[in-house]
Structure 1
């Protein structure tokens, strides 16, 4: 199973900054040591053209050229540096690359990504560019350029975003509002950031302290509703570790076992329908960073099992 990383681009954050930058390299090290069947590949940088499928030219220029005003950077939560701009491009490039691989192999991943608070014209909540939104648009554009055997164009590629980060994906929801080709589903803490939510296609707000049973029941109902409203050709899954009971910012009480069951349910839902799955790690702010990394490593263990099932299919049974 292929997974793309960009942890070599480390932001020079000030002392005491609450963003756990070290978790990305820790996860890569864990995968290299314990899951050697995960093929770790350096992420390419997203091109300006790819970014422009979602983001405004003025915003792209401000980030890549270092001209963003202080208010824009405060909302993102990172100071500008060349590493910040390059990391943002690579984080998007990782999801774009993983999406292309998933269409032929069934599953692929970004060791970072899930930057769902980024809007078309601004960032927010440690999110600079919206990697899932850009990757969805890239896939749709490439899909539409491919013709069928009779010379006709393929039908539009339907995309579903299953966002299980503890924070609502407000940027993603806003980008795709009114777009029938992308369905956005979000399970998130009702009283958590962002405090002004955007309307997605299916939003499931959860109370503080929500535990495993209620969480998994809500997920099951959401997947049933998704199936009734969308027939996706590809799913982007934000496998946030921040619903975990040990997360500093999460406010839910989902155990590690509960999160493993969550991952398994989403991946099985896609497998049963033979829908390629792209997953990103999204948020995770554990009181112990090791707990966050362990939750993420388990996501890869589950995914690897489903990737092997995909490899057992005949090539013409896969989406290509």
Structure 2
């Protein structure tokens, strides 16, 4: 990435954050994480209470990148074909036609994903990993950009199905919007007459431009010392006595990809250890499974990861 490309990337990233911030007030850091997930060609998991702006975030991102948006309300009776689409026989032409499901959009909001059955949840595994859907042995690509923003309600657990580890591992970032601060709430209440703040947003970039940014971010330099740092962190999560399952290779790759985007958003063409430290919790914490005794003791994955980060020295010099 040239200095000119780095400057363009950072300026464009800031413009996208600012535009989304017109609809999602007081949540700049979460917006930056969401855009990082999109440009790293990953997906976002939000664990939040109802009414915190999850739908507004998905719609604002789609409007900002001139993309399409769809919303799937996950319920226990939702079928895999309700998500991916279905092949229907056309008697007039005597051929089978594929009717796309709501998964075919630039930004897909999977609302309360843990309310659907495991069979329906598993319908998302292929499309989240490979950006394609296979129905009746025929593959259909969803295009670029493509991001799933899934939500979970952490309070109401009755009638829900816990996401399997294989699916959790496919979410690049897990975070929460949380409630806005008081000043932001006052601004939201002042605009109560406007039911949809995303309706006034104008696109700041095309979907082709988003793909170009993703390709540029993939070329950000990551020194061998930084890669070794990520590998050491991943190993420590597996060796920790309080973890039953540590960070996978996919998890380490996700951290590197996210760090590249974050570095580019800061106008740099290289990743530094501070990028890894800042993104470690949102990228890695949800991939760690704790031992039963640790869970009963009230230990959290965030605490384990924080302890590992404090005990693992970052690189002090480049190794090329």
TM-score with structure 2 setting the length: 0.33
Structure with greater proportional helix content = 2
Q: Which has the higher contact order (CA 8 A, sep 6+)?
A: 2
